[in-house]
């Protein structure tokens, strides 16, 4: 039986963090990182070209932040990827805005790596992170 891999797009403006998250996810055979974006605008361009199951999304980014991107995706008629926010900010307004705009989970970047991996799996399966 063919097992489907969870297709992930990492949207993070900090290159060091983006590469560290990619390395973390690459350790799991059921994950496939299909792209990386530096901001929401780049992510929109990629989403028009590739199929994605889960977005690992930062909140604060240049050009288009995570809240703006989530708002735009919420209004799309086509199938929407699940959103797991991975942020440095635990500000309740950010958390509230992300959940109002379709996020399934919100984690801080300093969470234990296994918690991030578990959250991606849970969200891809229809649960919450």
Is the Cα dihedral 117, 120, 126, 128 positive or negative?
positive
Residues 68-103 pLDDT 10s: 999 988 877 567 799 999 989 888 988 999 999 999
Give the pLDDT mean for 102-125: 90
pTM for the whole structure:
0.90
For residue 60, give Cα distances in angstroms to 18, 69, 83, 89.
Answer: 14, 11, 15, 9
Give the pLDDT mean for 22-49: 94
The answer on pLDDT for 3 being more than 80 is no
What's the token pair of residue 122?
A: 């849970």
CA dihedral 10, 2, 104, 22 (to 10 degrees): -20
**Confidence label for 4 from pLDDT (cuts 50, 70 and 90):** confident
Lowest mean pLDDT among 42-56, 97-111, 115-129: 115-129
Domains and CATH numbers, the chain: 6-124 (3.40.50.2300)
The pair phi, psi for residue 26, each rounded to 5°, is -65, -20
């Amino acid at each position: 039986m063919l097992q489907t891999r969870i297709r992930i797009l990492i949207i993070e403006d900090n290159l060091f963090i983006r590469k560290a998250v990619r390395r973390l996810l690459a350790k799991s055979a059921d994950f496939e990182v299909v792209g990386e974006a530096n901001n929401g605008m780049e992510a929109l361009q990629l989403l028009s070209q590739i199929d994605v199951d889960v977005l690992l999304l930062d909140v604060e980014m240049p050009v288009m932040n995570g809240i703006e991107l989530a708002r735009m995706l919420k209004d799309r008629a086509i199938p929407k990827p699940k959103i797991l926010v991975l942020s440095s900010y635990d500000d309740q307004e950010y958390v509230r805005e992300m959940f109002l705009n379709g996020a399934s989970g919100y984690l801080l970047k300093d969470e234990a790596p296994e918690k991030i991996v578990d959250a991606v799996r849970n969200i891809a399966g229809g649960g919450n992170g």
